[in-house]
Structure formats: structure tokens, C-alpha cells
Structure 1
Amino acid sequence: MGISRVVPIARKTPDYNKSRRSKTAMETSLPILNINDILHDADHFCLLDIGAGGLALMEQLHRPNFFSMLLLYHGTAKLYSEGKHLNLLPYQVVMNRPLVVNSLQIASESKGYLLCFTESFFSLRYNSNVLHQFSFYQAQQTVTFFQIPEREQYKWRTLLTFMLQEQMPAIPRRNALRSYLNILLQEAEILQGGNRTKTDAPPHKEKVMQFIQLVDQHYIRHKNPSYYAEKLHISQSYLNRLCKAQQALTSGQIIKQRVLLEAKRLLLHTPQSISEIAYTLGFESPSYFNTFFKKGVGAAPERYRKKES
């Protein structure tokens, strides 16, 4: 079942002034960071030598509008990501998804690489679904963290050095960069205990990945699984069976989890009132939002904010 019965979408004319105020508050407190904010004139891809600096914007709380991979080979760093605090040491890798709330503080003596790319950059050479077949980009997982064993460290440093060289010409060799990026993601998948990603994933698995991507795009306006089933040209009952088989959750539960995730982000990282958050997330009234949040989290929004802040 979807959550529309519990939290119906507004059928009356929305308060657009309130909506604008909510969005302004969210954008002020959680700025969206683009790749060209990190490296001027970069377009959908950049690889930075951390020793060269230039990462001040990432020290404040933000939402990156891109995928990222951070590898230190000397020094330390501190990462905050969705309530998690990670202390990074040499040859530990952190991989982040777009729009995950985080901040990054790198010690001045540290050296390493920060790789940033968008989905559209990767999909120009590979089918867009391939990116989401990597285990660390599935199931709404936010951050992936792992250690590179000593026997693999030289390989990673070499691949990233080659990528820097491909990026240096006046016109970067983008197809080569995409190929190296794919290799790095494959290597990360292996170190995570998975197999090399196959481009011919079973149709039912692709359907679930497509569903999760659609939920990410439309969960504010569409909270009923029937909308997504129609978009995917399958029945709602079949969508539920696929989700249970692949994610151990119903389609409605996946939508609820996505809404709850965004609600928690806004509660913890913006000054918005409970009412503003309710309208930002498409709820008809604050009371509907309070009921939904308390049922999903076990605490009222205000209590959750005070406890977790």
C-alpha cells in the first residue's frame, strides 16, 4: 500500500508563498554544490589533487549534485555524512551519492584524490542503468566506506594518475576518463565483496532500480505505488513482488523510507519549522506529517529534532 491514504496529497490550492519560504530556507542552510563550484569550468567530471587545495566549499554542510570518490594516500580527513562521522586514514575510500548531506574537512598535510562525476557523464559511454547496478549505488544507500588492501594500493594510485594525465589536455579525453572511471568502480565493487558488474542485469532487477530512481525524482508529489507502476508499465501487485524479492520491502515501504529520509535531513540540517517541512514534502497539513513521521520513526518530528541535533 502507498502512503497516500495516511498522508493524502493536497487537493486544495497550495500556499505558494509558504512553499517559496520553505525552499529558500532549505537552500540557504543546505547549499547545492556543483562540480564547477569545485573546479572552475569543469563540466560533469573533475579529478582533483587534494594536495593542491581548493576544497574549502566542501567544509561547510552541503549537498553535492554529483557522485564522488575520495582516496587519501597520506594524512587524515573527517567526513560527516547523514549523521555519520568518519575519520579517514590513508588508503581508505569514501564514495558518496548525489544530494547526500555531508561536509568534508581534510588535514592540511593530507594528499590524495577527489573524483567527481555526474550520471550523465558516465552514461554517455555506458547505459545509465549500469551505474546503478553497482551495489554501493543501490537501495538508497548513502555513503560507502572501505579500505584498500596493501596489494591493491599501487593499482589504485596508478589508475588515478593516468586519469589526471587524461584530464590535463586542453580538450580532456573524456572517453578514456569514462573507461578509467568504470574500471575504478569495478575495482570498488570487488573490494566490497561483489562480482564485476554485468551490463545484462535481469529485467526484474532493472525494473526495481528504475522504480527507485523514479521515487527519488517524484516522491514529493507522488506517494502512491500505482503512479510508479503505471510509469513502469507493470501492475502494482507485480511491482510489489519485485520489490519484496530485491529489497525485502514493499513498493510503498520504499516510498515511505525516501520521504522519511528527506524529512530527517530537513529536521536536522535546516531551520525550517515543522509546518514548513510538511508543506515542502507535499503533505496536506502539519498534522498529517506529524502522524506519518511518528508512525515511521517512533517519535514526533520536534522530539526527533531535539534528540538528534
Structure 2
Amino acid sequence: MLNQDIRTFTLPQISTHPVLRGELVILTVSEFFRKAAEGSHYKNKFYTVLMFSKGEGSLQVDHQLFEIRPNSFFFINYHQAYSFTGIEACEGHVILFTKSFYNYVYTGNRIIKSDTALADLSPCITGLASEKRKDLWQSFEALKKEYSSQNSLFKEIACLQLKVMMLKYIRNTRPVHPVQEAPDRKKELADRFSALANLHFRELKCTSEYAEKLNITPNYLNAVIRERLDMTAGQIIKNRVILEAERLLLHTTLSIAEIAYDLGFSDRSHFGKYFKAEKKYSPNEYRKKESRPVDNP
């Protein structure tokens, strides 16, 4: 496997819950760090929320480096590459959950019912006012209590408690805009395209190939993506390729040729030109810039 330096976790590897194995896991930070060793690189096949009450260190998520502070909160999406360094005296909790568990309880509100609300969530919250920190921690404690209870309907209530907590996370990172309740075919099409690009970016790099899968014309696909996302379909595809390239350059020791092969390029030279056109640096130059200042949201 080319991604030899990145370990991929699945929830069954981590889970200790007798009922929610493979769906929802709550661990202490210490328990999590016994599985995710400092200095190693990981990807998860689930969502991860880290809540630090104490401690310090750094967390790198893809190409962003964040400082761990007391009362800092982090969100790691599916397949994001991450690693920890300089960890000292950390305390807190980690919540691991799947898309299927988040969507377990249906509601009529689009933000609440669907995990799409988590698609572009900020990876970090720091500097919250005391009242807002307390509110987030209280939501977590309610979730943890239900997770541990196994009373009647505990799974449904745990799902709803998780939704409440994630909505509060969202509220503390960006404003929630009104959502149209009527069906929106263009939004559904944009979502389907984004999902396809995430699955097939290695082998399919042309807008026309995605348009064919969606049974529409390339021109119509571009028009919809421009309207919904303010960029072309081709740029969405390229962004996904570049994101994976950054992950491999920063989180593995693979050679440039191996990375080019993994990303579906015919040779190293083609990949180098593709990457430099977007990032203004060659892959080697970009890798040498690995050490970055901490990003403070």
C-alpha cells in the first residue's frame, strides 16, 4: 500500500462499547493517545471531536498546524490526515462517531438531519468565552451520561445529544444561515458531484467524466457548480487532488514518483507541473516548507 506512513483507524479497532461498537465511542484523551501515538500519522474512517480541558502540544490536520490549549476543541473529518507533537499533561475527552450514527435519528431540518452540516466544519475552536465553553462541556456530559446508561432508547437519545453538541460546535465557528425547506435539485446535484469527486479524483480528472456519471452535460455541471460553489467543476476536482497531494507530502515519506503514481498521474513530471501550477511550489519545495507557524482561528 502506498500510504504506508499513514495508519487508518476504524471504530471496531478502538471501540469498547458493547452495543455501539463501530458507531459511537467516547474515550478519555489518555486512552486515545495510547492508540494514536505521538509523532505518528493517522486517518480515520469516522468523525473525531477532541475536547481538551488541560494540557499543551500541537495537532496537525492536513496542512494546518494548531496549538493545543486548555479548553480547546478540535474536529477531524473523515480521511483527514493528522498527527500530534509535543503532547504534555493533556486531559479531556475524545468522541468518535460515524456518519450512519449521526444520521440515525431523522428530523425535518436539513442542518440537523444530515451529516452534510459537518462537511466544511472548522477544525479548531479556541478562545471561547467561559459561558460558551461551559455550554459545550454540559452538552458533552449529557451525551456521555446517555452513552454510559444503556437505558431504554439510549441510542436514539445519544444521537440527539450528539446532534445538539455538534450544532453548538457549528454555532461557535460560523453563523448558521437559513436553509430552504423546498427540494433543491441543484444542491443535490452539487452534493452528488462533490461526493463523486471525493471518491474518484485519482482516476477521473476531467469535468466531462463526472458529467457522464451524472447523466448531464459538462456545461450544465459547470453552471450548477459555479452557482452553488462559486468555482468550476474542474477546480473542485483539482482542489481534491491537491489536498491529497499535500497530505501525502506532509504526512508520509513517499517519494514524489510514488505520490504521483498514487494520485493517478502518468509520471512524476506531469504531477510536478500540475502541483506547481496550483501551489506555486514544486512538490519537493512544498515538502521542505513542512514546518509552519501555528494557525490560530
What pairs with 1:229-248 in structure 2 (closer than 5 Å)? 229-248=211-230
- For 2:28 and 2:247, locate their aligned partners in 1 and report how far apart those are by CA, in whole Å: 30
User: Is residue 2:260 matched to residue 1:282?
Assistant: no
Is 1:35 aligned to residue 11 of structure 2? Answer: yes
1:132 match: 116
Contact 2:63 2:246 in 1 (8 A): no
Q: Which residue of 2 aligns with 1:57?
A: 35
Distance (Å, rounded) in 1 between the aligned partners of 2:128 and 2:87: 20
Whether 2:226 is the aligned partner of 1:226: answer: no
- Structure 2 distance, partners of 1:178, 1:231, is 34
Alignment of structure 1 residues 177-216 onto 2, 5 Å: 177-195=158-176, 198=179, 200=181, 202-216=184-198
Give the superposition deviation at 1:119: 1.2
Question: RCO higher in 1 or 2 (8 Å CA, sep ≥ 6)?
Answer: 1
Aligned equivalents of 1:209 and 1:146: distance in 2?
30
Range that drifts further, 175-184 or 57-66:
57-66
Correspondences of 1:247-258 after superposition (within 5 Å): 247-258=229-240
Residue pair 1:62, 1:102 contacting (<8 A) in 2 also: yes
Query: For 1:11-30, what aligned pairs fall within 5 Å after superposition?
Result: 23=1, 25-26=2-3, 28-30=4-6
Unaligned 5+ segments in structure 1 are 1-22
SS in 2 for 1:205: helix
- Secondary structure at the aligned position of 2:205 is classed as coil
User: CA 1:85–1:217 in 2, change beyond 3 Å: closer, same or farther?
Assistant: same
Distance 2:275 2:268 in 1: 10
TM-score by length of 2: 0.82
On the 8 A contact 1:190/1:196 being kept in 2, the answer is no
Distance in 2 (CA, whole Å) between partners of 1:227 and 1:129 is 31
| C-alpha distance in structure 2 between counterparts of 1:199 and 1:217, whole Å | 28
1:193-251 per-position Cα deviation (integer Å, ceiling 9, x unaligned): 32277584733233222221211111111111223223334332222122222322100
Shift of 1:275: 1.9
- CA 1:233–1:130: 2 relative to 1, 3 Å: farther
Task: Report the residue type matching 1:237 in the other structure.
Answer: N
List gaps (5 residues or longer) in structure 2.
Answer: 292-297
Deviations 1:31-88 (A, max 9, x none): 11222333346312112233x5342232322112211111223333421222322122
Kept in 2, the 8 Å contact 1:130–1:199? The answer is: no
Alignment partners' CA distance in 2, 1:273 and 1:213 = 28
1:46 to 21, 25, 28: 25
Going from structure 1 to structure 2, the CA distance change for 1:173 and 1:77 (only over 3 Å counts) comes to farther
Paired-residue identity, %: 25
- Return the TM-score normalized by structure 1: 0.79
Q: How many residues align?
A: 280
**Aligned ranges for residues 24-173 of structure 1 at < 5 Å?**
25-26=2-3, 28-40=4-16, 42-50=21-29, 53-58=31-36, 59=38, 60-104=40-84, 109-126=89-106, 130-134=114-118, 137-138=119-120, 143-169=123-149, 173=154
Shift of 1:142: 7.1
Shift of 1:108: 5.5
Provide the alpha-carbon RMSD of the alignment.
Answer: 2.8
Aligned residues of 1:186 and 1:197 also touching (Cα < 8 A): no
Shift of 1:160: 1.2
